[in-house]
Chains A and B, each alone.
Chain A
Amino acid sequence: MMRYAPWKIVLTLAATLMAILICVPSMIGPDNRAKLAQFLPSWLPPNSIVLGLDLQGGAHLLYEVDRADVIRTMVGNLRDDLRRELREEKIPISGGVGMSARGVQVRIPNAEERARITPKLYNLVRLSTGPGGSGLDVVDSGDGLLKLTLTDAAINNKIARAVEQTIEVLNRRVNGLGTTEPNIQREGSDRILVEVPGLKDTDRLKDIVGTTAKLEFRLVAEPGYNPGDVDMLDQTDQPGQLPVEKQVMVQGEDLTDAQPGFDQRTGEPVVNFRFNIRGGQKFGQVTSANVGRPFAIVLDNKVISAPRILGPITGGSGQISGRFTVEQANNLAILLRAGALPAKLTIVEERTVGPGLGQDSIDAGKRAAYLAAALVLTYMLVTYGVFGVFANLALMIHISFIFAALVLLRATLTLPGIAGIVLTIGMAVDSNVLIYERIREESHAGRSLISALDAGFKRAFATIVDSNVTMFVVAAILYFLGSGPVRGFAVSLALGILTTIVTAVTMTRMMIALWYRHARPTRLPI
């Protein structure tokens, strides 16, 4: 055991050097990092360690697509589609189309017409072509009453698509905020995780993300309206409600661009927008036909403003004013450019850490790590003397290995992750302790020095593997079940366990071998 080929020693040294080099960019701060990048060879990864949101500060918001809202929209659409279908087929109904929690119902008194329309009704919501591909159950519950109910599959399908669309829209919105490296991803079936590091103003993020931003241009109803055709909507710039026609003239979908700006006359912040061709034509038609009437600009069922149509607007562009602040105008422009959300979002979990607290946590973690290292290194030194020096060297290499592995794997370092590393400082030397104590025992049992060293390493190895397997299992389970910070802890712990076997066993052994060859000791120094 006590002879090592030179190439093995060189390889070990190279690996250690490499690990230290990989750690360097993380240790020196962003400014120096840029300077350093010029001197380092290009094959060396210039990455610094990825810090979790709890360390660098930022917002972690878990949103859920409002299932009830999605179903409501689906039922509304189904009602409109059913009406259109009946109109096209010229089938008379008695009463209106009724809505229930999960579907609609309609009474068609004529049995023959009922039979003719029923197969077509299945096509109103389709999941796939062919029989059985409908997302509707149609039940004839007697007395001419047809009940159309949305299936679970249809609802889940819709929610899945809503989640996809929402992620697209949110990406555009959050990028509009100009933050760095936001992470927007699906979680489970109906949730979306929004993580934005290093953000100071989370309220603005919440406003930008949480607003549905459904924009509609609708006419304000004239006196003597039929209450059934009108929605009474709140106004944002003044108290009281406004009767607004249910029929939508132009929708936000028909916008191609929206930019914040200032009104040329009043200097008030406004949002300038442009319609696409279809929207422009429709808007032109409606404004031509309704000169003199006020029209309402409705955002998420609230009237932002209701200007009077002074003349036909055919240029395909316009302006929204609504007593905005500059920031409100900016936000609205971002929202309109990004498009509306297909469904309402609710925050189900929020974890926000300010950059100040994050920095405090990093500092606290560092101080704890230094103290732990100082205590353990000293303790090992006074207990094992020269062997303690070997263990300490191995420990330092071990820590640089953990960091290097974190950098290379692009794993996230969290505060519990730092705690995991500090814990590993205490545990890493366990392997050395097992080996050294075993060597002592073998030596006391009467073995020669070289034989005791040999036996110590061999015998302790099985125990080291055994005892580390249990820790590793625990770390793996924590990784798969934990989230965020806890996951960071699991990663540090698992990496710590893996590297301890390399450093504590292989490297210490090598050091002792070299020491044995050069110092020619006659008795065990521990």
Chain B
Amino acid sequence: MKLLRLAPENTKFPFMRFRRVSYPFSAVLSVIAVVLFLVVGMNFGIDFSGGTMMEVKAKSGHADLSYIRDLSSHLGLGDLEVQGFGTPADASIRFGMQPGGDAAQQAAVEKVKQALGGTYDFRAISVVGPRVSSELVQQGTLGVVISILAVLAYLWFRFEWQFALAAITATMHDLLLTVGFFSITQLEFNTTSIAAILTIVGYSLNETVVVLDRIRENMRKYKKMPTDDLIDLSINAVLPRTLMTATTVFLALLSLVVLGGHVIQSFSLAMMWGIFVATYSSVFICSPTLIYLGLRNELRAASDEVTGVGGKTGARPLSGV
């Protein structure tokens, strides 16, 4: 049976030569992401901005979106967003925090229920009050910060400092571009989006660690090879695996985007973007950073030979060849 190969055999792409393009390219993208975030901002869902989200289904089979939109002026609810999704009978209604604390949110829900109760079924209602939403913001921020610190600690413990810093650079890059993705697509950003971001952080590190592991291993193996060539060699070696895994994860996420339903669509889309960015950064951002940080294989090898330091785990000398 002829087997499928995504990456051709024994590739020898000079990845490191691309760093003069990829580095500025990513830097520009990152800056754009930050600017977008600051200027346009993300579309915060009710988890973080507070307010009410309802999902209604028209009993008649056809949701009258403009009629629902008019409710805002009748009921005085302020900004009211109405969107159709799924079948023509489905609509989502979202309105912001009502002035007057937690009780006012409930009162607003009652008003809408009374106005639509006869002709629509209420399939889901979420109300997040002012205090809970600010707590969720704190929790979410804390989650991201703690994750990054924990991962930093792990890398610090596991790798030499250049590697740790390179991995963090790549991860931050992915994080920024994901934030940019949320800003540009205006996908709703809520607590599950934080889960998506943290998963992207995890995946990005997973990718980076696989590449770094191989670079480190090869540094022991080819002590005289120039760093550029050594990194190229390492990336080419793990390239089939990188492409293969990115594809399987992509296929799984594609299934979620297409069939997983609207509730987790933004979650799945963000993750899909994250996988793409993480794969790119593990090759084009992380490894060049090692060079920019002054990692010099030739020099290190020399000092290793003098002191006889074997290095940490994962870099066993090749025996039995």
Contacts and interface: CB of A to CB of B under 8 A. Distances in A.
Interface in A413-460: 415-416, 418-419, 422-423, 425-427, 429-430, 433-434, 437, 440-441, 444-445, 447, 451, 455
Interface stretch (A31-39, A89-97, A306-314, A476-484): A476-484
A469 interface: yes
Contacts of B263: 54, 361, 364, 415
Contacts of A383: 3-6, 244
A300 B127 CA distance: 25
Contacts of B249: 423, 426-427, 430
A489 B147 contact: no
A357 B87 CA distance: 13
B154 A473 contact: yes
B129 A473 contact: no
Interface string A149-178: 000000000000000000000000000000
A481 B123 contact: no
A81 interface: no
Q: Chain B interface mostly helix, strand, loop or mixed?
A: helix
Q: B237, B249, B313, B320: which has the most chain A beta carbons within 10 Å? A: B249
Contacts of A425: 248, 252
Contacts of A422: 252-253, 255-256, 260
For chain A, the bracket of interface size reads 35 or more
B195 A477 contact: no
Contacts of A493: 199
Interface stretch (B33-41, B64-72, B206-214, B288-296): B206-214
A419 B267 contact: yes
B202 A474 contact: yes
Interface stretch (A271-279, A318-326, A345-353, A508-516): A345-353
Interface stretch (B11-19, B20-28, B138-146, B303-311): B138-146
A468 interface: yes
Interface residues of B, number: 81
Interface string B249-261: 1111111101111
Interface stretch (A22-30, A111-119, A126-134, A367-375): A367-375
B106 A347 contact: yes
Given A361-B263, A364-B260, A489 B195 contact: yes
Contacts of B261: 360-361, 364-365, 368, 415
A354 B122 contact: yes
B174 interface: no
A164 B55 CA distance: 34
A354 B124 contact: yes
A474 B82 CA distance: 35
Contacts of B147: 473-474, 477
B151 interface: yes
B102 to A, nearest CB: 5
A372 B255 contact: yes
B74 interface: no
A368 B210 contact: no
Contacts of B264: 415-416, 419
Contacts of B268: 419
A347 B129 contact: yes
Interface in B267-286: 267-268, 271
A291 B274 CA distance: 79
A471 interface: yes
Nearest to A383: B4
A454 to B, nearest CB: 9
B186 interface: no
B267 A416 contact: yes
Q: Chain A interface mostly helix, strand, loop or mixed?
A: helix
Given A419-B268, A474-B202, A64 B209 contact: no
A383 B125 CA distance: 46
A416 B192 contact: yes
B194 interface: yes
Q: A375, A385, A468, A470: which has the most chain B beta carbons within 10 Å? A: A470
A425 B245 CA distance: 11
B256 A368 contact: yes
Contacts of B106: 206, 347, 350
Contacts of A429: 245, 248
B314 A466 contact: yes
A466 B216 CA distance: 13
Interface string B164-208: 000000000000000000000000000110110011011101110
A349 B195 contact: no
A379 to B, nearest CB: 6
A478 B102 contact: no
A9 interface: no
Contacts of B209: 463, 466-467, 470
A348 B237 CA distance: 54
Interface in B110-142: 113, 121-129, 131-132, 139-140, 142
A122 interface: no
Contacts of A376: 248, 251-252
B124 A379 contact: no
B224 interface: no
B143 A351 contact: no
Contact of B192 (A361, A462, A474, A485): A485
B62 interface: no
Interface in A259-279: none
Interface in B219-259: 237-238, 240-241, 244-245, 247-256, 258-259
A440 B9 CA distance: 10
Given A368-B259, A382-B4, A419-B260, A478 B198 contact: yes
B150 interface: yes
A62 interface: yes
A375 B143 contact: no
A352 B126 contact: yes
B208 to A, nearest CB: 9
A478 B268 CA distance: 17
B297 to A, nearest CB: 20
Given A423-B249, A493-B199, A444 B123 contact: no
A78 interface: no
Given A463-B210, A467-B213, 12 more contacts: A64-B102, A368-B256, A423-B271, A425-B252, A426-B249, A434-B241, A470-B151, A470-B202, A473-B154, A473-B202, A485-B192, A489-B195
Counting from the closest, the 9 A-B pairs by CB-CB distance are A426-B252, A364-B261, A474-B202, A426-B249, A372-B255, A470-B205, A371-B255, A368-B260, A350-B127
22 contacts: A350-B109, A351-B126, A353-B124, A364-B261, A365-B261, A368-B261, A371-B258, A383-B244, A418-B260, A422-B255, A426-B253, A433-B245, A437-B238, A437-B241, A445-B321, A463-B213, A463-B314, A467-B205, A477-B198, A481-B143, A482-B143, A486-B195
